[in-house]
Structure 1
Amino acid sequence: MSPDLPPEPVFHDWPLPYEERLAARPRGQVDLVVIHCTELPDLAKAREFGERVLYDSGTGNSGHYYIDRDGSIHVFVKPDRIAHHTRSYNERSVGIELVNRGRYPDWLDSRRQAMEEPYTDEQVAALVGLLAWLRHEIPSLEFIAGHEDLDVSQVPASDNLHQQVFRKRDPGPRFPWSKVLDAVPLERIRP
């Protein structure tokens, strides 16, 4: 293997039942990676949420890659399909979900907006490896963003309809942006 080629990560293929119903796209259309956290207790719960059919097309919401706390990478949707993970950015992006509790189970409760679970060293190492590999596999890839950078909408808090909270806060304040950006040459965007 050439020293310029990043090693291919170990992937655990676990395609969603509706993956083939998601629109196909050329990889050259992808220029952005969006980092998420599942805001769920574990990978099994994330899978359950990903399998839920929410649209007339017979598809639901899901990222492409899920990285568990042990660093294992699970492929729910291949990057040549458009997954539903970030409003208005799906056609051009790959979604990577890191298993993390986030604000679970009170996502919109104004008293529980802290995101305290740290990301594991294994998750961060797996993410850096995946991003390096994706940069090689998808030459058009040049940008990275957190879900919270792209979806800044606010909604009424579940405990107080007169107070607004952010709909999305992931990957959140515990995400090691500097470590990831130092390791992989992607430009962080915040529209």
Structure 2
Amino acid sequence: MIVRPISRYAAPLVLAAALAGCAGSLPAATSTDPAVLHAAADLARQEAAAAQTTTTSLDTGTTETSSDPSTSTGGQASSTASSTTTPPAVSPSRASTSRVPTSRAVASTAAIPTETASPVSPAQAKLFVVDATLPFGAARLAETAAYSLRHYGSASSRLTPTMIVLHFTAGATWTSARDTFAQDVPNLGELPGTCSHYVIDRDGTIYSLVPVTIRCRHTIGLNDQAIGIEMVQPAGPSGGWADQQILARPAQVDAALALVRQLQATYGIPTSSVIGHAMANADPHFHDLLGWRNDHVDWQSADVAQFRARL
């Protein structure tokens, strides 16, 4: 695979190399302005539409060039907090990232044919993945392993994903979700704090928060098996209402569908194992040694059925 610079213009964002397998601790985070992240993502979209698109493999983190000019544009973690605890106050004005000496946004494709210039369908939507890695050092990895021992019987922080759980943030910005996850404060009296692997903004930008090879505390009973994907959506009259807002938002839902498809292809995850947080307790893979249960309403089964039908 030929590795090339993304573009002479795409300075401010680095791709989520964290999506590759991670065997150790991650370095401490540094701050990055969300406005810069959005500007770089927009610039990457414009370049992809005008010339070449840099594609990225979620499981290797490597980049290669493609000539396809087409583009598209909450669990414990859902809602970014437990229903029995109030999340810490966070500032939506800044987001911090780790492993970002320089930054750039990139577009990723899931085996999209490049021979045609026909309009892009949701099945062909490109992924604009921005590295917004959470601070996840040795201490948090140890907390995750200890949590896993108590709840799942194995002292490990490693994840071999076999499921995907959909969430919405119950907040208005992706930065507020990320900042809450970065806090690493006790939830339901236990560490580590909640987190999710991805958060997808309403404009379709995908932010990578944690490598998918590390367990995140986003869904009780499934954290040792599932990738968590948050979608920015304020809470409303009901979980179903909020789900429908996302399903009716093309940029966001198309990005979510494209991300899920690529994760399915990479890890062999069947569509039946793409579930909503509200469905977790009834899932046959659910298990928790302490008898904990989820009480969240994000992504009801009827709404997940609509999402699956579009995969």
TM over 0.5: yes
1:102–1:115 CA contact under 8 A, matched in 2 = no
**Match for residue 227 of structure 2 among 85, 91, 94:** 94
Q: How many Å apart are 1:58 and its aligned residue?
A: 6.4
**Match for residue 9 of structure 1 among 115, 122, 127:** 127
Q: How many Å apart are 1:171 and its aligned residue?
A: 2.5
CA distance in 1, matches of 2:301, 2:264: 25
CA distance in 1, matches of 2:157, 2:179: 23
Report the residue type matching 1:98 in the other structure. Answer: M
Report the residue type matching 1:5 in the other structure. Answer: A
**Is 1:45 paired with 2:176?**
yes
**Match for residue 257 of structure 2 among 112, 116, 128:** 128
CA displacement 1:32-82 (0-9 Å, x = unmatched): 100000011211211221112224996310110100000000001110000
**Structure 1 residues 5, 149: CA separation in 2 closer, same or farther (over 3 Å shift)?**
same
Structure showing greater Rg: 2
CA distance in 1, matches of 2:264, 2:136: 26
Report the residue type matching 1:145 in the other structure. Answer: I
CA displacement 1:72-116 (0-9 Å, x = unmatched): 00001110000000001001000000100024xxxxxxxx54664
CA displacement 1:108-141 (0-9 Å, x = unmatched): xxxx5466441111111001100111012112x1
Q: Which residue of 1 aligns with 2:167?
A: 36
Report the residue type matching 2:111 in the other structure. Answer: L
Map residues 1-191 of structure 1 onto 2, 5 A cutoff. 5-6=111-112, 9-18=127-136, 21-22=140-141, 24-25=157-158, 29-55=160-186, 59-103=192-236, 113=238, 116-117=241-242, 118-119=245-246, 120-139=249-268, 141-142=269-270, 143-151=273-281, 167-172=295-300, 175=303, 177-178=305-306, 180-184=307-311
Structure 2 gaps of 5+ residues are 1-65, 67-108, 113-123, 142-155, 283-293
**Percent of aligned pairs sharing the same letter:** 23
CA distance in 2, matches of 1:98, 1:57: 25
CA displacement 1:139-159 (0-9 Å, x = unmatched): 2x121110011148xxxxxxx
Query: Taking structure 1 as the reference length, what is the TM-score of the superposition?
Result: 0.70
Secondary structure of residue in 2 paired with 1:90: coil
Between Structure 1 and Structure 2, the one with more helix by share is 2
Computed over aligned residues only, the root mean square deviation of the Cα atoms, in angstroms, reads 3.0
Instruction: Detail structure 1 runs of 4+ shifted over 3 Å in the superposition.
Output: 19-24, 55-59, 112-117, 172-177
Question: More displaced, 69-78 or 115-124?
Answer: 115-124
**Larger relative contact order (Cα-Cα within 8 Å, sequence gap ≥ 6):** 1
Secondary structure of residue in 2 paired with 1:10: strand
Query: Taking structure 2 as the reference length, what is the TM-score of the superposition?
Result: 0.45
